[in-house]
Amino acid sequence: MKRFSALALLRAGLDGQKSWPRDWRDPEPRKHYDVVIIGGGGHGLATAYYLAKTHGVRSVAVLERASIGGGNTGRNTTIVRSNYRQPALQRLLEFSLKTWEGLSDELNYNLMFSQRGALFLGHSDADMTKLAERGDSLRCVGIDAQLMTRRQVARLIPLLDISPNARFPVVGGLIQRRGGTARHDAVAWGYARAADALGVDVIQNCEVTGFDITDGRVHGVRTSRGSVGADRVGLCVAGNSGLVAAMAGLKLPIESHLLQAFVSEPVKPMIDTVIMSQSVHCYISQSDKGELGLGGDPDHYPTYSQRGSPHRIDEVAAQAIAMVPALSRLRMLRSWSGTTDMSFDGSPIIGATPIDGLYLNGGWCYGGFKATPGSGRLYAHHLATGAAHAIAAPFSLERFALGATIDEAGAGPLPQAR
């Protein structure tokens, strides 16, 4: 791996930047690995990196059926924060947020991680009571949270409609200053490059089509490019979790649904904070390129179509314009969707499955980008040591049978209730 630095950039300028090597190799799958990771999204690549880096497990392959980062990693709206309400989620996502801080340096790859602040708007006294309670619970465990008045919110985001007769009146907000956004593709590429440098085989265009399982133990996977043996196999396939698990004869507490996102034409900087509203559900941020990225509710039914319903576009646009009227002058450039792995309590599943040697990382719903570094570290710990890390332990697959669900929304066991 040739390290990126100002000097290296200057030197490479002498030959028109042509001397850069490829960021990761394009290896043929070997006959056997200690660990095979299925799915080259951010979670799979991060897991491979920490297996090699932290645990010294270097015989690792990441098998990706298409190109890395082309799944939800490359489709999400990149919001990173740790201001959740359930203690187990607070620990998990703060562990991840701490890893984000300093990750660009560690990977020697610019993830464009921008701690621009993530703000929840409060639209009523009831909203503010809930936000205050959330803020208190966060500060009790050492996670930053600051309650804001209407005037403070208006100063932070001057384009917000804070007039008393606004469609969604703004009463105040709760901000996590350390929250923000990151460049999603760079996360996949940065982890792939760093993992490759440690000897991990990142193998693209290699689809897993089955498992080699005898006596309840996995011995490897079958792929579109032949059989690959493995002592341990880790799933990291997000919206395809159910389909890949079915190849091993498992049924999971996961349904595949769909979440859309939208992006506007690029404009000069107009919003430098992530704006969210848990009452309205629309969220807004502006990328460094100048595009406004918008999202809202998922489509609320099982689908692998990756094709969202147009009524959601109407709804999100209407909400966004009501909150920031200046957006009405912008044209939308693109809309797209990703297949989200909706779990039955809204929280992820990280850990062992009933099959020896087969592990699951999934059920991240529409919120797993922020968790990428933390999830990679915790899953690597489990794959390397055979035991769950304390932070990951509550997120076991058994929690559903045990009644120990982690239900942030308090909405009961339905994936569309998130």
Partner 1 sequence: MMLIACPHCGPRAHVEFTYERTMDAILSVDVDPDTAVAILFQRENPRGPSQELWRHTYGCRSWLRLTRNTVTHDLAEVVAWPPA
Ligand X SMILES: Cc1cc2nc3c(=O)[nH]c(=O)nc-3n(C[C@H](O)[C@H](O)[C@H](O)COP(=O)(O)OP(=O)(O)OC[C@H]3O[C@@H](n4cnc5c(N)ncnc54)[C@H](O)[C@@H]3O)c2cc1C
Is residue 18 part of the contact set for partner 1 (CB under 8 A)?
A: no
- Contacts of 381 by beta carbon, 8 Å cutoff, 6+ apart: 50, 54, 55, 388, 389, 392
How far apart, in whole angstroms, are the C-alpha atoms of residue 80 and residue 86?
Answer: 17
Identity at 219, one-letter amino acid code:
H
State in angstroms the smallest separation of the CB of 263 from ligand X: 11
Residue closer to ligand X, measured from CB, 20 or 301? 301
Is residue 364 part of the contact set for partner 1 (CB under 8 A)?
A: no
Is residue 278 part of the contact set for partner 1 (CB under 8 A)?
A: no
* φ, ψ at 135 (rounded to 5°): -60, -45
Q: Say which residue the tokens 């804001």 belong to.
A: 148
Map residues 228-267 to x or -, x wherever contact with partner 1 holds by CB under 8 A. -------------xxx--x----xxxxxx-----------
How far apart, in whole angstroms, are the C-alpha atoms of residue 132 and residue 35?
Answer: 45
How far apart, in whole angstroms, are the C-alpha atoms of residue 38 and residue 57?
Answer: 16
* φ, ψ at 318 (rounded to 5°): -65, -45
Partner interacting with residue 208 (select from partner 1, ligand X, none; CB below 5-8 Å by kind): ligand X
State in angstroms the smallest separation of the CB of 417 from partner 1: 11
Tokens encoding 180: 């923000």
Binding site for ligand X (CB under 6 A): 38-44, 63-66, 70-73, 75-79, 207-208, 236-238, 240, 244, 259-261, 295, 337-338, 340, 364, 366-370
Three-state DSSP state, 139:
helix
Partner interacting with residue 176 (select from partner 1, ligand X, none; CB below 5-8 Å by kind): none
- Contacts of 412 by beta carbon, 8 Å cutoff, 6+ apart: none
State in angstroms the smallest separation of the CB of 9 from ligand X: 29
**CA 375-381-384 angle, 5° bins:** 135
Among 67, 152, 163, 305, binds partner 1 (CB under 8 A): 305
Is residue 330 part of the contact set for partner 1 (CB under 8 A)?
A: no
Is residue 7 part of the contact set for partner 1 (CB under 8 A)?
A: no
Which H helix or E strand runs over 60? strand 60-63
Residue closer to partner 1, measured from CB, 222 or 300? 300
Partner interacting with residue 252 (select from partner 1, ligand X, none; CB below 5-8 Å by kind): partner 1
Is residue 336 part of the contact set for partner 1 (CB under 8 A)?
A: no
How far apart, in whole angstroms, are the C-alpha atoms of residue 198 and residue 50?
Answer: 10
Three-state DSSP state, 203:
strand
Residue closer to ligand X, measured from CB, 53 or 150? 53
Name the site residues for partner 1 (rule: CB under 8 A).
241-243, 246, 251-256, 300-305, 309-311, 344, 400-401, 413-414, 416
